[in-house]
Amino acid sequence: MERRFRTWVALVVFAAVLLALPLLVRQPYYRTILVFVGINALAATGLNLLMGYAGQVSLGHAAFVGIGGYASAVLSVNLGVNPWAAMVAGVVAASLIAWLIGIPTLRLHGHYLAIATLGFGMIVSIVFAEWRGLTGGVGGIPGVPALRVAGLALDNHLRFYYLVWTCLYATVIATSNISNSRLGRALRAIRGSEIAAQTTGINTGSYKLQVFVLSAALAALAGSLFVHYISFASPSRFGFAYSIELVVMAVLGGLGNMWGPIVGSGVVTALGELLRPLRDLDVPAFGLILVLVLIFLPRGVTTSLGLLVQRLRAPRPTNGEVAPANIVGAGEP
């Protein structure tokens, strides 16, 4: 009960911060970054469900983001489909493809999904760049129309900020609900011990598949939002590097923590901007920072800081009063 109450308070505070943030952040550049943080966090939240709860890794999530993005661009620009319908089509397409990839790979134990998605991501990024008739090739698809809500075009930074963060806010609430549900417990059980989960009645293959499809759908939603925001779809954005960036966001933020992807996305997106003056050295610098974070905050920024706060608030145990966890054997003296 206390845990639920704390989550509820955190969600209210989070909503207040989101509403107030644009009042403090007025320059278009910084508002753009806030939008990107939200879009990345959306994709990273899906990945966090997959990695942090079900213990599976996808190294090709950029492909799902790209499928969402290109579905929006192709359908709304080339075929004149309503942008919202295009968005839904992209999400459905990405979910179907994830389902097809997941069926053979998720039945097996081990990291077959990581290998399969790695290859899938590579293939999809080549398709984006080479299928000129559909995707416009390296040049991409310009002139993607803005999304409209009740006749209002979401064509400036502020309006889009509210759209993206509303989507993210809803996703965070859903993630929090899932985490404390039958489904969330089943996923965490799978990560803990697949055999124990199975003999408890959990169809592990089916749950891993469901969460993989969900994560692909969230990625496609992020991709569609991205393309409508910058009004342009190009293959360079949806390559292997972005897949890795999403994994980094999920890990760095703290796997299995509902706030992790937002923190991870904030850190990675901001770092990307800050390291830009380093030009070609930005990737090595990025790698170095990641390694340092994982050495000093192995459970991710959010979770590690949370534990630190807990430790500072808890009364210091006197010597020998608290037995170390897990080492305690059966017998009493």
Partner 1 sequence: MSAEEPILQACGLTKRFGGLLAVDAVDLVVPGDQVTAIIGPNGAGKTTLFNMLSGVLRPTHGTILFRGRRTDGLPPHVIAGLGLARTFQNVRLFEGMSLLDNVMVGRHTRTRSGMLDAAFALPRARREERAGRAICMEALEFVGLAKRADDDAQSLPFGHQRRAEIARAIVAEPRLVLLDEPAAGLNTRERAELAAIITALAQRGITPLLVDHDMDLVMDISHRVSVLNRGRKIAEGPPRRIQSDAAVIEAYLGEEIAC
Binding site for partner 1 (CB under 8 A): 174, 177-178, 180-186, 188-189, 191-193, 195-204, 210, 214, 256, 325-326, 328-332
Q: How far is the CB of 204 from partner 1 (least distance, A)?
A: 7
The residue type found at 4 is: R
Closer to partner 1 by CB, 17 or 196: give it.
Answer: 196
Contact 40, 249 (CB under 8 A): yes
Closer to partner 1 by CB, 129 or 217: give it.
Answer: 217
Closer to partner 1 by CB, 82 or 181: give it.
Answer: 181
SS3 82: coil
Q: How far is the CB of 299 from partner 1 (least distance, A)?
A: 10
Q: How many CB atoms lie within 10 A of CB 299?
A: 17
Q: How far is the CB of 162 from partner 1 (least distance, A)?
A: 22
Contact 147, 228 (CB under 8 A): yes
Closer to partner 1 by CB, 33 or 211: give it.
Answer: 211
Closer to partner 1 by CB, 318 or 326: give it.
Answer: 326
Q: How far is the CB of 325 from partner 1 (least distance, A)?
A: 4
Closer to partner 1 by CB, 57 or 59: give it.
Answer: 57
The residue type found at 47 is: L
Which residue intervals of 153-203 are DSSP H helices?
Answer: 157-179, 182-192, 194-199
* DSSP at 142: E
Q: How far is the CB of 125 from partner 1 (least distance, A)?
A: 29
Q: How many whole angstroms from its chain centre is CA 237?
A: 16
Give the helix, strand, coil percentages of the chain, each rounded to 5. Answer: 75, 0, 20
Tokens 């009960």 locate to 1
Task: Give the number of residues written for the chain.
Answer: 333
Q: How far is the CB of 317 from partner 1 (least distance, A)?
A: 14
